[in-house]
Amino acid sequence: MNWEQLLSLKRYGDTNKRLRKEQDETRLGFEVDYDRIIFSSEFRSLQDKTQVVPLSKTDFVHTRLTHSLEVSVVGRSLGRKVGQLLLKKHPHLENVHGYKMNDFGAIVAAAALAHDIGNPPFGHSGEKAIGAYFKSGDGAQFKKHLTDKEYQDLCDFEGNANGFKILTESRQGREGGLRLSYATLGAFMKYPKESLPKKPTNHIVDKKYGFFQSEKQMFGEVASELGLTKRSDDYLSYQRHPLAFLVEAADDICYTIIDFEDGINLGLIQEEYALEYLITLVKNINKTKYSELKTTEDRVSYLRALAIGTLIDEAASIFMKNEDKILAGQFETALLDVSQYKAQIKDIIDISVNNVYQSKEVISKEIAGYEILNQLLNAYGKMAFNYFEDNLSNYDQLLLNVLPETVKLTTDTLYQNVLSICLYISKLSDTNAMLLYKKLKGNIL
């Protein structure tokens, strides 16, 4: 892979090549990507979607929106730091093609901003609830109408693939979705492969999948334009865009440190015990300043900022040390998995898992999320199937009448119908999913 292709400014539908040196410096194409994402309705819905604690009304607990903004900020700093080093190593990128340090930051920031845009309500438990409906719930009956890959898309419903669909899916008046640059789409694709075959390897790309069968053609076009290295001739699987490693690192840094911070602020993790773990990530503490901080929130905030700075420097260093391997498709793990701070990061994550992710408050609300999504899928999934069979009941027709116009159903393929329903439900905020569930249960108050 080479940076000239990987930094492509091309967008869906372009007939002429977009050259970096011809870009308007006041509103660079990669910065347009950021703007389009942040003004999208799908991004706005993240303000009421779970990060860790579902349906939390506590001010200092993060939602998917605040998490995404923070990951974007960290990603921008990380991208700029790496961009500065890359331009020193490959001066022709700037001297010949006109790329700047901030371009790398803008690409990573935009991709990081969108990294959770495909997540359904109720966090990762929402993904599992949708998958369970098709794997072992009423949705299992649809299997005989689907190809193996289509069915696997649903059984392992994946927020990353759903995000790629949201960013790229054409609809009337919006061809090519948000029409982001292919460089940003490439950085967004953490798992550039289809759902089958499932490969039990340690390669980071094989951990999940990155696009539904409905976006297979679009994915192939993006991968081809960027010059991503193919991993197989038998199915669609590619090596990652190098900047996807930075998007992943920004996300890893934020959820490691900030979910931990939420746990402390919620009282689920004891401050005295927790601060020891943050201090292990911090190189230099201004002891005078630290002693002046009187509240838990301020002390944790100070250490959090220093810890994030340390991990940004660490991730940039690992990336540059392995840049040749990354471009050759020979780097097979997340950046922080080979960090000198790996043990400290693991300790912090283990505490968060035990005290926050597996707390009774979180689990009880995840149970509620399972029930809500299962009921929505039961009602709308059945309607989608009956539409495909051209056998709508009166109740189905009522459900159909209140669906947004963007939800398109057909009698040609059940896969499109079911995926459209999943997309509709996945875009709901936690609160709107709960309200829709209550309406289906007959509670209209």
pLDDT at 335: 97
pLDDT in tens, 2-60: 999 999 999 998 888 888 888 878 888 899 999 999 999 999 989 888 766 554 555 55
Give me the mean pLDDT over the 154-179 stretch.
Answer: 90
pLDDT at 391: 94
Q: Look at 125 and 140; give whichever has higher pLDDT.
A: 140
**Domains by residue range for the chain, with CATH:** 121-156+359-445 (1.10.3550.10), 251-358 (1.10.3410.10)
Give me the mean pLDDT over the 231-236 stretch.
Answer: 90
> In percent, how much of the chain has pLDDT > 90?
64
pLDDT at 387: 94
Q: 289 falls in which pLDDT band (50, 70, 90)? A: confident
pLDDT at 56: 53
- Indicate whether 362 pLDDT > 60: yes
- Indicate whether 334 pLDDT > 80: yes
pLDDT in tens, 408-433: 898 899 999 999 999 999 999 999 99
Three-state SS string over the chain comes to CCHHHHCCCCCCCCCCCCCHHHCCCCCCHHHHHHHHHHCCHHHHHHHHCECCCCCCCCCCCCEHHHHHHHHHHHHHHHHHHHHHHHHHHCCHHHHCCCCCHHHHHHHHHHHHHCCCCCCCCCHHHHHHHHHHHHHCCHHHHHHHHCCHHHHHHHHCCCHHHHHHHHHHCCECCECCCCCCCHHHHHHHCCCCECCCCCCCCCCHHHHCCCCCHHHHHHHHHHHHHHCCCECCCCCCEECCCHHHHHHHHHHHHHHHHHHHHHHHHCCCCCHHHHHHHHHCCCCCCCHHHHHHCCCHHHHHHHHHHHHHHHHHHHHHHHHHHCHHHHHCCCCCCCHHHHCCCHHHHHHHHHHHHHHHHCCHHHHHHHHHHHHHHHHHHHHHHHHHHHHHCCCCCHHHHHHHHHCCCCCCCCCCCHHHHHHHHHHHHHHCCHHHHHHHHHHHCCCCC
Give me the mean pLDDT over the 138-144 stretch.
Answer: 94
Q: 261 falls in which pLDDT band (50, 70, 90)? A: confident
Return mean pLDDT, the chain. Answer: 90
- Indicate whether 191 pLDDT > 70: yes
| Global pTM value | 0.93
